[in-house]
Structure 1
Amino acid sequence: MPDRIFDFEKDFAGSLRCIPMAVRLKLDLVGIKLSLRQWSRLDRDQRGRLLEVPCGGAADRHTIGAMIEEWVTATGGTIDRIDPADSANWSNTNTVPEVVVLQAKGEDVSAPSLSQWRALTDQQRFALIKLTRPGHENKNFVPAMREFGLFLAD
């Protein structure tokens, strides 16, 4: 799983002030809900390590979970556990998720075709799904679609 900060998030996540999508994906896979406050209490090296550390299998996920728990408790915080994410929603390349189609429609842009969806990386598909969450501004959905080559800028 390539871990990178997307162009659409560089203005707020490039400095690691905010949690990049690559780290959000790992947190979801590990089953940890990390608040922005908890993230900001980690030092820059710890935040960078979370971006770089691999998260390919169960052993990696266990290591990441233990690291985060150690670091957060060292700052006086507690870990909120969630059900580890089922990657089926972003790794499923048999259909474009309805939430992505609806968000695209709401933004007045074309949803990705099935072939475009299949060509995206897991991290790109995860980002698009995350950018459709209800109750969030989701202003980066269209910039992400553009960055991923899903449509051309006007």
Structure 2
Amino acid sequence: MDQVLTFERVVGPQEHFIPLVVRMKLDLAGARIHLADWQVLADDDRQLLVELQVGDSAQGRHYFNALRELLISANRGVIEQFEPVNAAVTDWLKEVEPESIAMFKARTGIHGDWLALTRFQRYLLCHAARKNDVTLNRRIVAEIPALELLEP
């Protein structure tokens, strides 16, 4: 199940950043919010956004509508919906490991089979590749049993 990562829980996501699991779901639902939007939501509302599933377009619409209602209730205004991400425009939804990710894994010593990763784990790996941050790489690999980091 997709969830807030251990290192995110330690920092306290409601205060410093939108958890990666929620960011993935925002992409899938075609929604964009600011950190200030996330911060004004009640703990129960944030937890709802973590737990709601977004496995298909109907669930994506439900997620977007729930988010919109929560933000309206928090006096943050109405958000606009964008085109949800799909495999044509984002690496983490591709069935075949993208060359850029294979190169990133080789460069950073990360080993693991793309096909063994869940959608959220692929999202995390692609996020790590975009950030190219050694500490973040270690934290993310520690969260994904199907990956290992071989030190040089």
Give the structure-1-normalised TM-score.
Answer: 0.76
1:37 aligns with 2:33: no
Quick one: distance in 2 between partners of 1:138 and 1:77?
38
Aligned positions, number? 146
Corresponding residue number in structure 2 for 1:55: 54
Amino acid at match of 2:95: T
1:121 is the counterpart of 2:105: no
- Give the superposition deviation at 1:139: 4.0
2:101 alignment counterpart:
100
**Larger CA deviation: 52-61 vs 74-83:** 74-83
The separation in 2 between residues aligned to 1:137 and 1:77, in whole angstroms, is 34
Q: CA deviation at 1:27?
A: 0.5
Q: What are the residue-to-residue correspondences of 1:84-99 with 2, within 5 Å?
A: 84-87=84-87, 89-95=91-97, 97-99=98-100
Q: Which amino acid aligns with 1:100?
A: I
1:39-62 residue CA offsets vs partner (Å, 9 max, x unmatched) = 001111110001111212222211
Does the CA-based 8 Å contact 1:100-1:111 persist in structure 2? no
Gaps of 5+ in 1: none
Contact persistence 1:34–1:80 (CA under 8 A): no
The CA distance in 2 between the partners of 1:45 and 1:66, in whole Å, is 17
Distance in 2 (CA, whole Å) between partners of 1:76 and 1:109 is 41
TM norm structure 2: 0.77
Structure 2 segments unaligned to the other structure (5+ residues):
none
Kindly report the root-mean-square deviation, in angstroms, between the aligned alpha carbons of the 2 structures: 2.7
Shift of 1:112: 3.4
Q: Specify which structure has the higher proportion of helix.
A: 2
Aligned to 1:130: 127
Where does residue 143 of structure 1 map in the other structure?
A: 139
Return the alpha-carbon distance in structure 2 between the equivalents of residues 87 and 51 of structure 1.
22
Distance 1:77 1:131 in 2: 32
